[in-house]
Amino acid sequence: MSHVLIAGGTGMLKNVSLYFASHGMNVSVIARNPGKFEQLILSKGIHGYINPLRADYNDYEQLKRRIVNAVSIYGPIETVVAWIHSSAPEAPHIIAEIVNSYNIPVKYFHILGSEHSDPSAVNEDYKEIFYRLKNIFYRKVILGFIIEDDKSRWLTDTEISNGVIDALKKDDDVFTVGRTEPWEMKP
Ligand SMILES: NC(=O)c1ccc[n+]([C@@H]2O[C@H](COP(=O)([O-])OP(=O)(O)OC[C@H]3O[C@@H](n4cnc5c(N)ncnc54)[C@H](OP(=O)(O)O)[C@@H]3O)[C@@H](O)[C@H]2O)c1
């Protein structure tokens, strides 16, 4: 059974966790709150397995240990979906380095806020780290906004999960959920 790792998979990406589980995969979900894990596991339509990988991704050593343990049980990870707050800047790389080390190809979908649509406004050096890892196929998924009746708003959780699932299927190097132009219309 394929093994998928989703960081932040009990929040706005909950439906992405359920999408993989409904396709019969082992889904290791990184988050902290036991109540949110319970809600996810009790959701209907799961044919695969949700593995609650309880870790604070700010604690890099704990994060590493938990992922290595999950791989020892469910096998090497083939897909990563990572939504990680900027409070843990190294966590996306740490995850990539661990999954890279098992010598199988890994698709890594990095979910990023709208500001990443403008590379000049964001330090993009971190990308080099992913590109150096030979087994990592790095994909950027940028969360944009919606314009309706000349007004803009942020995406809902359902729109974010659905958009990320579209990004997984399309498998483009860069995929934007919603839009990031015109930037002046950002909510
Ligand atoms: N462009 C856009 O439209 C856009 C962009 C970003 C966000 N948003 C909106 O903003 C809302 C809030 O964003 P959010 O990031 O709080 O959303 P969220 O996805 O609802 O929650 C964050 C996820 O990451 C986990 N998490 C957070 N900190 C963690 C840590 N230190 N270690 C391990 N796991 C951790 C959370 O679980 P635990 O709390 O259990 O750890 C949860 O699964 C979202 O609901 C979304 O609608 C919109």
How would DSSP label each residue in 58-110? TSHHHHHHHHHHHHHHH----EEEE---TTSTTHHHHHHHHHHTTSS-EEEEE
Distance 45 CA to ligand 1 centre (A): 23
- pLDDT reading at 6 higher than 90: yes
CATH for 148: 3.40.50.720
pLDDT digits 0-9 by tens, 162-178 = 999 999 999 999 999 99
Looking at residues 19-34, what average pLDDT do you find?
A: 96
- CA dihedral for 93, 95, 98, 103, sign (positive or negative): negative
Distance 99 CA to ligand 1 centre (A): 22
With a 6 Å cutoff on the Cβ, whether 143 touches ligand 1 is yes
With a 6 Å cutoff on the Cβ, whether 155 touches ligand 1 is yes
With a 6 Å cutoff on the Cβ, whether 26 touches ligand 1 is no
Overall number of domains in the chain: 1
Query: The pTM is what?
Result: 0.95
- pLDDT reading at 63 higher than 80: yes
Its domain, for residue 107, covers 3-185
Distance 136 CA to ligand 1 centre (A): 24
pLDDT digits 0-9 by tens, 100-146 = 999 999 999 999 999 888 766 666 666 788 989 999 999 999 999 99
Rg over CA atoms, the chain = 16
| DSSP collapsed to 3 states, 15-49 | HHHHHHHHCCCEEEEEECCHHHHHHHHCCCCCCCE
Longest dimension (CA), the chain: 51
- Tokens 């030979």 identify what position? 134
